Amino acid sequence: MKIGFDAKRAFHNTTGLGNYSRDLISILSRYYPDNQYHLYNPKKAKVNRLAIAGNMHVHLPKGFFEKLLPSFWRSKSIQKNLKKDQIDIFHGLSGELPIGMDKIGIKSVVSIHDLIFIRYPELYKPIDRKIYIKKNLKAAKTADKIVAISEQTKKDIIKFLNVEPEKIEVIYQGCHQAFKKNYSSELKDEIRNKYTLPEHFLLNVGTIEPRKNALTIVKAIHRSDYKLVLIGKQTAYAEKIKKFIKKNKMETQVFFLEGLDVTELAIVYQLADIFIYPSIFEGFGIPIIEALFSKTPVISNGNGVFPEAGGDFSSYVSNALDAKELREKIDKLSATDKAENIQKSFEFAQKFNDQTIAEKWIKLYESL
């Protein structure tokens, strides 16, 4: 098969959608090397994290107007490239498809990650929300098949986009190979020293924004000996957290980091005592999977998608905004022997391994 991908995120995004795109393309290329994978990128790559294998072909706009208007090329005029390249299936990796895909004789699939912009409109600018809704509605109607990254997202697609359940498949996403490796104590010490990490610490990973709810973790460890490492891009919400830290004299308890490469991040996961992820809502929750593969116990939100990602042997709070309840969970998990839970959670995480995911994708493509 010749499979085409909207590869914008793979070459221009360092976090969620970029990681999803790169990981999916990489595992398909590795486990099904006889296919050809055509990556359509509207601009010269800003992020060079995808190793281009021999069965991958990167395409950029070539004509004067296509280079001048790369967004138009990506959303419309790319059709002629797809036909010229004899693409069998085109996959929109981030909730959108080129206009008119249903009229050019090429099967299409779209991945929809979440509909948070509908559930929590207050978190988005009105114009952005309007654009996201329009793109997702159009793609859901156009695509031959929709893939939701979780059962929770499938429910939301049915509810908010009015799509028949039969049109939607759930295929989980995995995580980077770096989180599945065991690192030497020497390398761990090197990273601990490089970032001045405490001997014992709690960890949270993700953009530091209101939806991720890191302030509740900080409140939970107030008046305790726990140390907390927050890793992620800082927004205005981070300043709110820092004000709380300063007011309560917690400067020696909370550490902010960003800009780690994927290997460094994987090592920090393995160094952490507990991974805490009290996000209000997600389409899935890849950081939870990264923690499970890292054999680091997890505390997360007991509502929504999080138990789907964390399994029965992670810990959950009933109210993600309740700092007292979170503190109780931290105290309880810290005081128990975590070995059995860690092993059971690691076994659960195998449902998100690369080969399983690749097999499901190929089965879906072939069904079209």
**Around 216, how many Cα atoms within 13 Å sit in the side-chain half-sphere?**
26
Residues 191 and 116 placed together within one structural domain of the fold: no
Low-confidence ranges of the chain (pLDDT < 70): none
Q: Tell me, what CATH number does 13's domain have?
A: 3.40.50.2000
For residue 302, what is the enclosing H or E element?
Answer: none
Residues 158 and 68 placed together within one structural domain of the fold: yes
Residues 127 and 146 placed together within one structural domain of the fold: yes
Residues 122 and 254 placed together within one structural domain of the fold: no
Residues 135 and 211 placed together within one structural domain of the fold: no
Residues 247 and 301 placed together within one structural domain of the fold: yes
Number of Cβ within a 10 Å radius of residue 368: 12
Residues 161 and 266 placed together within one structural domain of the fold: no
Residues spanned by the domain of 31: 2-174+353-367
Residues 153 and 194 placed together within one structural domain of the fold: no
How far apart are the C-alpha atoms of 179 and 13, rounded to whole Å? 19
Residues 146 and 182 placed together within one structural domain of the fold: no
Residues 31 and 146 placed together within one structural domain of the fold: yes
pLDDT at 181: 95
Estimate the share of the chain in helix, then strand, then coil, as percent rounded to the nearest 5.
50, 15, 35
Residues 51 and 168 placed together within one structural domain of the fold: yes
pLDDT digits (tens, 9 = 90+) for 299-325: 999 999 999 999 999 999 999 999 999
Number of domains in the chain: 2
How far apart are the C-alpha atoms of 188 and 194, rounded to whole Å? 10
pLDDT at 128: 93
Residues 152 and 30 placed together within one structural domain of the fold: yes
| Whether the Cβ atoms of residue 227 and residue 203 lie closer than 8 Å to each other | no
